[in-house]
Every structure is written in C-alpha cells, then in structure tokens.
Amino acid sequence: MKIITKTEDLSAFCAKLAAHPFIVVDTEFMRDSTFYSKLCLIQASGPGIEAIIDPLAEGLDLSPFLDLMMNESITKVMHAARQDMEIFYDLCGGVPAPLFDTQIAAMALGYGDSVGYMALVKGFLGVNLDKGARFTDWSRRPLSNKQLHYALGDVTHLRDIYPRMTAKLTELGRMDWVVEEMQSQLDPALYAFEPENAYQRLKIRNNKQDYLAALKGIAAWREREAQSRNVPRNRILKDDAIYALAQQRPLSRDALSKMRGIPRGFERSKSADKLLTSIDTAIKNKETYAPPAPKVQHMPPNLGPTMDMLKTLLRLRSEYKDIAPRLIANAADIEQIAAFGPKADVQALKGWRREAFGQDALDMLDGKIALRLEGREVVAKPI
C-alpha cells in the first residue's frame, strides 16, 4: 500500500493516473467543530494503480493532484460526491469535471434511493465490507494499517464497479439519463458559501419586506462570522434565533439582550455590533436588499387522492423499469402535476423522465390510464 507524503512522489503518481480516462477519488475529513472540512486523507486509484495521499504531511504540495482534478479529459468517479466536491471546489477554486457519481448511477440501475457504498459493493462485486474503521478520527497520526486499508478500499472497489456500471447503463440506454442528472452537481453555487446567499438555507416565514431584508442580513452576518472563525454556523447563532431576530429586528444592545436564543453577554461583544449594523443596514436598504418574497401558489383543494394515485403510478413505472422512483420524480413534482397537469414546470415532465413516467401521469389525469387490481396486484392499464 502506497502512502504519499512527498510532493515528488505525488507528481509521479499523478503522471501515471493522467494516462487513464478515469480516476476514482474519495476523501476522509473531519468537520465536527469547523465550518470548513479539514481534509485528512485523499484516496485515488486508476486501472492498476492506487495510493493514499496524506494532505497533513509536512511540506506536501497538493497542486499535482488538484491539476488532475481539474483536467477535463479525465472523468472523476466518486460515490455520493457532494461533500468531496465541496472540498475540491475550495482547494481548486473551481468545480472538478466531468463527474461520475456512482450513487446517482445506481439509482438508474434499480439500487434504490441513496444506496450506500457497502450495498453497492455487495451488489456489484459480492464483497462484504468491514466498516469497523468508519468512525476513525482521520486527523490523528499515525493511522493503523486497518484504517488505511479501509480507506483505500473505498476507491479500489469502486474502480472495479465503474466499468461494469457504465457498461450496464449503456446497454440499457440510460447513460444519458445519468449524465443529465449529474449536471446539477457541477453548479458552483452548490459549493460557494457566499454570505449574501446564506438566507436561502433558511425557511421564509414572513413575506414582509422588512423581515426578508433582516433575515438576509442576519444570515449573511452569521455566515461571515462562521467562516472567519472557522466554526459551524450554529456555534455562532442557531436558526431559531435568526428567525426571532428577523421578526423583532432589534437595533440596540439593550433590545438584543432581551431576546431569547441570544447567548448571555453576547450584546456586549464586537460581533453584536456587527450584527446590529447588519440589521440596520438591511432595513434601511430593504427596497434593493430584500430578496423577493416567495410566490404563493394557490393549490386546488382535495389533491390527496390524486397524488396517491400518481405516487402509485410512479412506483409501478419505476419498478417496471427498475429505477429508483426519486430519480424520476419527488413529492413536490407529484404535487405540481396533480395540481397543474401539463402546466407544471417540473423535471418529471421533461426529457427521459416524461417518457418514463410524466406522459403516463398526464394521461392518468386525462382519464386515459386507470389503476386496477388483477388478482392482488395493482396495475396501470390504458382505458
């Protein structure tokens, strides 16, 4: 097992990886007490080659590997890639592409929603993995051989799965489906923690402009504080406290001290001054600063039975095609189709999803398809 701790060894390893059309990548990191993930290990493999890279090794320059990640002629294969992509976005200053996420691909092959790595390895390779090292503190050194072998297995097994998976997707004519689904993971907005967009992670509980402006300003303040201190957002202020602040909009230390959810003594800190300034500035500029109020959709009454029928149809169609239902449509899609029919602006009525389910859903709404029992089995039949 190769453990890379020197830049020259990393350069040589990356040169060998670059000769292949794909590389498999995984990371081990810690984020229990920080805003940004602390990268502790990088595991990488290609056909006939694999290694563990120790980013905590003194003097190691990760540039050769980061250049490889940004090489658009090489496919980066990952499982449940979101957090790994976030780490590399921060390190690379951009989104590594192209990407192949085996968790998404598995949904197109009937492995269910969000299949875990162990289940995927068992399904494709018949191998039962020992996950005893999963709760390791990866920042500690030295790591045991058991821990290192566990970590490396995350890329060596996936290296064997990837060609089989792509062959099966191609055989079934579903590779385009997976490529389309993965495009959303290449959006930089997923990984760029812009303070002025932090309010989007919160629920809008009031459509008044003062509230919206204050909510955005307070969320931006918390995001900047969390980033500058490198601590989790809730260590700065919990979400419930943000909602209360946006509702009451205190503009003085005294008013701040009387609010629930605010740490005792916080009103005397420099951070409190910044928070109060953020609230004041947001309100004074609410016409231009406040985000638009969410559009309120007036839903038709009694959608429940229609939604239940559409969910049953989705289950039948996904079982027939051996696809995870969530890859085709989610609960919000079903609600929109039930309410607005062909006018619903949802992915389930576009592209391959329309062929797999969307058109049948519209036909059911038009009375052209019915659910009925054949024996004890529910089936969908044209009328």
Query: Over the stretch 185-232, which tens digit does the pLDDT of each residue have?
Result: 999 999 999 999 999 999 998 999 999 999 999 999 999 999 999 999
CATH of 195-289, one of 3.30.450.40, 2.20.28.90, 1.10.3720.10, 1.10.150.80: 1.10.150.80
Whole-angstrom distance, CA of residue 125 vs CA of residue 164: 10
- What confidence score (pLDDT) does residue 135 get? 77
pLDDT at residue number 260: 84
Top-tier CATH class for 3-190: alpha beta
Q: Range(s) for CATH 3.30.420.10 in the chain?
A: 3-190
Instruction: Say how far apart CA 351 and CA 266 lie, in whole Å.
Output: 53
The b-or-e profile of 103-120 (16+ CB within 10 A means b, else e) is bbbbbbbbbeeebbbeeb
Q: Looking at this protein, which amino acid is placed at residue 244?
A: A
Q: Please report the pLDDT score of residue 40 as a whole number.
A: 97
pLDDT of residue 13: 98
Low-confidence residues in the chain, pLDDT < 50: none
Distance CA 137, CA 28 (A): 9
Q: What is the pLDDT of residue 256?
A: 93
CB atoms within 10 A of CB 31: 13
Residue 376: the pLDDT is 85
**SS3 of 281, please?**
helix
Q: At 158, list the tokens.
A: 């996936």
What was the pLDDT predicted at 182?
Answer: 92
Q: How far apart are CA 363 and CA 33, in angstroms?
A: 51
Closest-CA residue to 50 (of 165, 176, 157): 157
32 DSSP assignment? S
* Residue 345 backbone phi and psi in degrees, to 5: -95, 80
pLDDT in tens, 287-342: 999 999 988 778 889 999 999 999 999 999 999 999 999 999 999 999 999 999 99
Name the segment(s) of the chain with CATH classification 1.10.150.80.
195-289
Q: Can you tell me the distance from the alpha carbon of 215 to that of 294, in angstroms, rounded to the nearest whole number? A: 14
What pLDDT score was predicted for residue 375?
86
CATH of 304-382, one of 1.25.40, 2.30.29, 1.10.150, 1.10.405: 1.10.150
Residue 247: CB atoms within 10 Å: 15
